[in-house]
Structure 1
């Protein structure tokens, strides 16, 4: 959430940033809401001051024996109390109206984010493995098959059974393919905890609305979420472990010396894919339920940009170790996520599609989420507190990594070679499937 004080002081900067995100200017409407709140608060404070003064005057009038004046003052105090009671309710309404308006304003892009209206404006930052693409392409006599063709031919990937159980956009994996997916997730966790310094967490998969609001899934993306009743309220199934991991610091004041905090988790994720009708209907690319290794960092204000580069390199290390070709893209202003100030998308090469597809998205959010969570830190010998900065990234999506392994390591006989880094998790197996 943006700071209304900053908006009042920088209305043109807000509108310019929103226009870069293809949004209409909002500063005038937001400042008008704040002016209304501030004016009402001023009237309320004046009434409280007059009530306190009138209460003293009642005592003075009674001591002076002026009963008529005392009664008149008492009547005035009653009227003031009635106004204050109504005024406090109005104050809450005005605060809510302002906060509701701020809650749907996206974060502001960093100055180095390229301008663009949509994904066509994204810019390649770096790439890895182009020679691998060429060598593997040269080694295949036939056109590479897509992951679902390979998995179904093995008899280890079943979409029909999943549909009978749960409907569309679900998959059943069996045997060696189920083990391979488990191996990929375990490998990623070990890499991030043992080599990259992340602390493994096993978080709740059901979260309150406040947690979803804190990481900006609510209110904007409510239709993309799954909910279950919980008493008189509800709980949401996490769309990503970013939600519980980032909220580990909600409503806390940390010491600067504790930062950075780095968390990772391997969890199922649940998304309704409400806006994806007709997209990626074949295979496992876009599912209602999938596994993902998430990375979350909590830093001070000075460290977040460097941490963003570090986090992205940690996610890239997964693909480098698995020898999966990829390119890292800087998302333009029109393609960035709601809460991000800058985002790197890592796109893995899929030979079956002859295309790069997103496998990780690493974002720096500044203090945008911290304001929604009231997460702060204290600098030694400094009065007051500051909001922490938060970052999140996929390290990486396990199902999409499985897809990439199947397509990049496929053999002519329909088998799939197991990458060296995964063999110790596969009991030493060097390949799966095939005739």
Structure 2
């Protein structure tokens, strides 16, 4: 694989750099760099700025207003977005369901949903996990019973990121009982304003509200809201999950964090053992970049994508562990980052420490969501053994 950038790639990289320096909303950059929690309005403004250049539908085909980037350009865009300190794309609509609608949706569904996603008129949530069916997704019991031209949805979805913001939710639902658990599952979209849907917040250990429990009680959804064939959602979900697992890399952000750790360590911690651990994680990131580029170039089997998901998420945890070790006793304060002056609440604590511990706590979940590490290892084993993942 040739890792050298062409002249065209360098010109594209410079264009993206200029965009974030001059045309992207600087107030959002300031807020994100200060560690403040962004609102839905902030994310909408961010996405609209990207779409003003036609850069929001990353990974979408050009016939559906995707930017038509090469894998290298996609990688460079992600790298420059993170280097600028801009918020990552909320993935549920753009990275997850958008490409599925492009590939498997009807023309009516495409014209109905895709423009609203690109113009940020609609936010989406992902209804996959449920009680007793998280990483073991095939055991889900969320039920969709056909009643004429409608499905009637009943059940619970949990760990649903952004459901309190979402206008729509795409759900895996059991539409029939089959001998093979992966069969009889359909992909159904529901308007979050539908009668019978209730959203209950889940406050995580870092104090943030991103996750929710979503209850469905006799929720009627038109059959036309089903994407693809009835009972075929396991196939669609696996296409989606491969895209999801490739979205965890964040190489540029890891590099920026490691550079910050190295600079802080010069003043805070003169310890050869820490220097060795830091160097080890830096090497991890370099190796991870090569693996990500190979995957983006189309060299990824399901087993390879699962292995990459393990590497990405464990590496993210290793980075936050270094920050916590640097912070020492200063990692104790838990501050509310929703306030504009949140860092002033503990003036004697180093600026990086409160945010570092919250990131550490949040990243504990990375090896669980999107498919737990144990499940990914099973997929890798099946791939090595020549079995279907």
Larger Rg: 1
Question: If each structure's helix is expressed as a fraction of its own residues, which one has the higher value?
Answer: 2
* TM-score (structure 2 length as normaliser): 0.23
TM-score w.r.t. the length of structure 1 is 0.21
Greater relative contact order (CA < 8 Å, ≥ 6 in sequence): 1
Q: Which has the higher strand share?
A: 1
